Structure 1
Amino acid sequence: MTTPTTAYDFDILIVGASFAGAACAIAAAQRGLRVCVVERKHDPGEKLRTTGIIVKEAAEQTLLNQIPAAMTRRIEQVRLYAPSLKQVALAAPGYYFLTTDTPQVMRWLAEQLRLHGVDLRLDTTFNQCARSGEGWQVEGIGSTRYLVGADGARSRVAQRCGLGEVKQFLYGIEYEFPGARIIHADALHCFISKRYAPGYIGWIAQNPTGVQAGLALRHDPERARVPDIDGFLLRAGIAGGIPRHLKPGHTRAGLIPCSGPVVDMARDHAILTGDAAGIVSPVTAGGIHSAWEHGWAVGCAIASHVREGGPPPERVAIEAAPRFRAKRALRWAYDRLQFDWPFDLFLHSPPLRWAAERVYFHKCSG
């Protein structure tokens, strides 16, 4: 067995302390590497761009199963609404989601990094980098054998290292209503509407601290528009159980990759993961589980290569990325063939229920 060299300040430097970056860091640190994570935010729980909804697989099969119970709420049903607001209840035996007190989960995740011996540097911005031997010299931070970009849909690491960049996005906005409760708090409420959410959906869910309600649509940089979440809530809020008099507290907003993994996500000791690598479901936009799994695989692969001469982690990163083939096909069809009337007409039909259950309850691969 070989040991990491001391020619670099770090074996891995990871930009971004969200789910993918944290998974990569913890996996590598557990295997004895010197890991640094830089995060531009002073508080990991502020200015969030994730809904924080965790699927069953992540809740049971990853370190996220250690999130304190007070930070999560179990949701076992999906209520799917047609544009007319007709609805159908969907469920799968044993399947569930966890909504979360997301700011507290992100702070808990930062503490996990520290507990695992990761050098976590908050309020630190990644600006420039240059090649240093086989690795990278990062301005103001130090040298590293491997540089990992877990810094979101507009990854600066991808730009600086000449890696592939995400090209297609949804744009989402979400309101938080602290202390609020909805009538059917055991369900994730999902709304289909070409008017308010072309290319995606709206949603309402109960979480441990209140209610979250969001809307996302296909982002066209040539004709960019902000989702009309206020109009959406006037239309659908009562159906989802939100009284009209409620005023939102915090707001989350940002771009969501929707085209699948980027091309050229890893090269020359630089690797992308999470949103930076486009590892987000093109249909449901669920990213936490796939981001965690890919980040963990990258961290393990770098440790294996550095300590034991394992296969190149760049190759592992590319091979470990989910392809989302079926969901990318659905994404293509949804972008081009979305009409309101089929959902109004066939909402209760067996074929639509069958398709919806495979989207929401992960009954199909890819």
Structure 2
Amino acid sequence: METASSAYDWDLVVVGASFAGAACALAAAQYGLRVCVLERKADPGARLHTTGIIVKEAIEQTWLRRVPDALVQRVEHVRMYAPNLRSVLLAAPDYYFMTTDTPNLLRWLASELRASGVALRLGQSFTHARREGVGWQVEGVGRARYLVGADGATSRVADRTGLGRVRDHLYGVEQEFAGVVLPEAGALHCFTSRRFAPGYIGWVAQNPTGVQVGLALRHDPARARQPDREGFLAHVRDAVGLPASAQAGATRAGLVPCGLPDGPITAPGVILTGDAAGIVSPLSAGGIHSSWRHGWTVGDAIALHLRGQGPAPEGVAAGAAPRFRAKRVLRWAMDHLQMDWPLDLALQSGAMRRVAEQIYFHRRGMRV
């Protein structure tokens, strides 16, 4: 049995206030733990690294069901485009996605943390932590029994504590077109193209404030290349009905993990979650739902353990991390076998449709 001790300033320090970090902090706070969250950005909605597209399960099964209606927009279909821009419309019974006003969604999450009694320190970066007894001395914060790194694809917590680092990434960039409405606003438009998106896809989606246009490709640190945003936009503009007069506004960009860390995600008193732990689908790069679930599991396990009601959270966290084994096979195929002409020919086939349904809907859907 282990109980929280007054020898510590905090029961839990979480680094990162995005989805995984917020979930971890909220879960722990429900038990009355003393929780501090460090977020290096002064504005949690600035300089984003996420598309903010949320799957049905996350909306219906997690804290995110409380998101204000004004911050989300329901999308029920996926229109999948071959490189030659032929397309097929996919759907699954009762399935949907939510696109979001992502900057304000993350600001709302920050308000939820504060309302739950979490000490949220905006504009404060994690710099270093050293082990002190069974806990950690976190520079600029104080003594903490547990330290959780939810600080993204290039986690400083992982680096400073000797945990595994994710080495395989995609690099994505997304532009916002404020106030624009697509003719087919109820679909997530997804584009395959070895020219524009080797190793991944491009996408166009309606959100509550306008249209987001994104492009991602396999990241090679030795031969890094910038996505051809202008070329991609010219390629897809007419297909999705984006007006020629629409002007790009805010841009978000960053690395997205598509592999597992090269070492453990836990050590005594420290745990990684979210992107820092590689908890992102290696194929779709979707991570909000899985990161939220893992972050919540970590926060819940820490609280139960400190209350003497559960096993060591390090083991719980390691066991709860998804492996995405089947999707890693498809990731290998996308990295090594992607060609445009087979996709041009196969888009309408049943086999291609089943693969797409598994990726986007996690189960068999239907073509409409």
Preserved contact between residue 257 and residue 278 of structure 1 (Cα < 8 Å): yes
Preserved contact between residue 164 and residue 261 of structure 2 (Cα < 8 Å): no
The equivalent residue for 1:183 is 183
Greater Cα offset, 242-251 or 29-38: 242-251
Preserved contact between residue 262 and residue 278 of structure 1 (Cα < 8 Å): no
The equivalent residue for 2:156 is 156
The equivalent residue for 2:287 is 287
SS in 2 for 1:332: helix
The CA deviation at 1:311 is 1.0
Matching residue's letter, 2:320: A
Cα 1:16–1:75 change in 2 (3 A) is same
Matching residue's letter, 2:184: H
SS in 1 for 2:11: strand
- Distance in 2, Cα, partners of 1:237 & 1:318: 44
Output one character per residue of 1:153-212: Cα deviation in whole Å (capped at 9) or x when no partner.
000000000000001000000000010111100000000000000000000000000000
The equivalent residue for 1:51 is 51
The equivalent residue for 1:120 is 120
The CA deviation at 1:261 is 5.4
The equivalent residue for 2:142 is 142
SS in 2 for 1:114: helix
- Distance in 2, Cα, partners of 1:240 & 1:171: 23
The equivalent residue for 1:131 is 131
The equivalent residue for 1:232 is 232
Residues 13-24 of structure 1 correspond to what in structure 2 (within 5 A)?
A: 13-24=13-24
- Distance in 1, Cα, partners of 2:3 & 2:306: 7
The equivalent residue for 1:203 is 203
The equivalent residue for 1:5 is 5
The equivalent residue for 1:346 is 346
- Distance in 2, Cα, partners of 1:88 & 1:265: 40
Preserved contact between residue 260 and residue 281 of structure 1 (Cα < 8 Å): no
SS in 2 for 1:234: helix
Output one character per residue of 1:297-345: Cα deviation in whole Å (capped at 9) or x when no partner.
0001101111115211111111000110111111011111101011100
- Distance in 1, Cα, partners of 2:263 & 2:328: 15
Give ranges in structure 2 of 5+ residues lacking alignment: none
Output one character per residue of 1:280-300: Cα deviation in whole Å (capped at 9) or x when no partner.
000111110000000000001
TM-score by length of 2: 0.97
Give ranges in structure 1 of 5+ residues lacking alignment: none
The equivalent residue for 2:220 is 220
Residues 256-275 of structure 1 correspond to what in structure 2 (within 5 A)?
A: 256-260=256-260, 263-275=263-275
SS in 2 for 1:181: coil
Matching residue's letter, 1:33: L
Preserved contact between residue 298 and residue 317 of structure 1 (Cα < 8 Å): yes
SS in 1 for 2:307: helix
The equivalent residue for 2:102 is 102
Taking only the aligned residue pairs, the percentage that are identical comes to: 63
The CA deviation at 1:260 is 3.6
4+ residue runs of structure 1 moved beyond 6 angstroms? none
Preserved contact between residue 260 and residue 328 of structure 1 (Cα < 8 Å): no
The equivalent residue for 1:322 is 322
1:310 aligns with 2:310: yes
SS in 2 for 1:131: strand
Matching residue's letter, 2:360: Y
Cα 1:260–1:57 change in 2 (3 A) is farther
Matching residue's letter, 1:285: A
- Distance in 1, Cα, partners of 2:52 & 2:349: 31
Preserved contact between residue 2 and residue 305 of structure 2 (Cα < 8 Å): no
Preserved contact between residue 135 and residue 146 of structure 2 (Cα < 8 Å): yes
The equivalent residue for 2:37 is 37
Greater Cα offset, 232-241 or 59-68: 232-241
Q: How many residues align?
A: 364
Preserved contact between residue 261 and residue 279 of structure 1 (Cα < 8 Å): no
SS in 1 for 2:311: coil
Cα 1:183–1:344 change in 2 (3 A) is same
SS in 2 for 1:314: helix
The CA deviation at 1:262 is 5.3
Residues 54-73 of structure 1 correspond to what in structure 2 (within 5 A)?
A: 54-73=54-73
- Distance in 2, Cα, partners of 1:347 & 1:260: 30
- Distance in 2, Cα, partners of 1:290 & 1:24: 12
TM-score by length of 1: 0.98
The CA deviation at 1:263 is 3.2
- Distance in 2, Cα, partners of 1:238 & 1:137: 56
